[in-house]
Structure 1
Amino acid sequence: MAELPTDEDLEVVADCERALLTGAVRGDRDSARLLLHQDFREVGQSGRVWDRDCVLDLMESEGGTDAARAEDLVATGLAPDVVLVTYDSVTKDGRARRSSVWVRDRGRWQLRAHQGTPAPQDPTA
């Protein structure tokens, strides 16, 4: 029976998730491309579905600015080579509950699916 991702794997994935929120990665299309799986899909806060190329274009258009701050980030192994990351993203415009599914593909952790849901400003609500 294959084992779940290790604690080290979970730390790597959590760091990758945080990196995708930074201007340094968002402003560097090649760096962002390495972190997004070729079949990446996102369901945004608005309900709009984004593919990899659309998200890369959006990140590039933001000019390398930080997107958000992650709060209460938790990475959990779901299956061999699959990790779920959940957290709240906080920006000047509000808060969202986020979930990401990361897969290890050819030895590299990549974001396969991401979803955001608007959340109340008070994280305890």
Structure 2
Amino acid sequence: MSERGDERFERIRAAEIGLLSPETRSDSIRVDQLLHGDFIEIGRSGRRWTRDEIVAMLGSEERGEVPQTDEWHFAELSAGIVLVTYRITGTAVESRHSSVWDITSGQPRVRFHQGTRCA
């Protein structure tokens, strides 16, 4: 599936990068808009996070830099449901990430996210 120039994928990429930025992470209203009501996360540590836990954790998080990302891939799993994978570099721990985004309402909302440390 072509990724460049697909407006849906560009909106999802912008939302995902937004969730990596300190400005968005500290804005509970914006985080609330980006996380689907059924959101869950499996963190790099293996911990399972609920939506409410993530909103609270991000609101109290120490501000940092936006990490560098690359190796973006998008796959539409069904109408309006998109799997996104990418790599985070330029931090103490390199990691790979996957997210499932729901764009059926027109507003990208992430339903699932998982981060995995790279060896």
Is TM more than 0.5 here? yes
| SS of match in other structure, 1:65 | coil
How far apart are residue 105 of structure 1 and its match? 4.3
CA–CA distance in structure 1, aligned partners of residues 50 and 16 of structure 2: 17
How far apart are residue 54 of structure 1 and its match? 0.7
- The number of residues matched between the two structures is 115
| SS of match in other structure, 2:94 | strand
User: In structure 2, what is the equivalent of residue 119 of structure 1?
Assistant: 118
Q: How does 1:22-101 map to 2 (within 5 A)?
A: 22-66=21-65, 68-101=67-100
User: In structure 1, what is the equivalent of residue 15 of structure 2?
Assistant: 16
1:47-100 CA distance string (max 9 Å, x none): 110011111111111144345322222222221111111011235321111100
CA–CA distance in structure 1, aligned partners of residues 90 and 31 of structure 2: 20
User: In structure 2, what is the equivalent of residue 103 of structure 1?
Assistant: 102
Aligned structure 1 segments of 4 or more residues deviating by more than 3 angstroms: 63-67
Q: Which structure 2 residue ranges, 5 or more long, are not aligned? A: none
* Percentage identity across paired residues of the two chains: 35
The worse-fitting range, judged by mean Cα deviation, of 55-64 and 18-27 is: 55-64
Q: Which structure 1 residue ranges, 5 or more long, are not aligned? A: 1-5, 121-125
CA–CA distance in structure 1, aligned partners of residues 52 and 109 of structure 2: 15
Greater strand fraction, Structure 1 or Structure 2? 1
How far apart are residue 106 of structure 1 and its match? 2.8
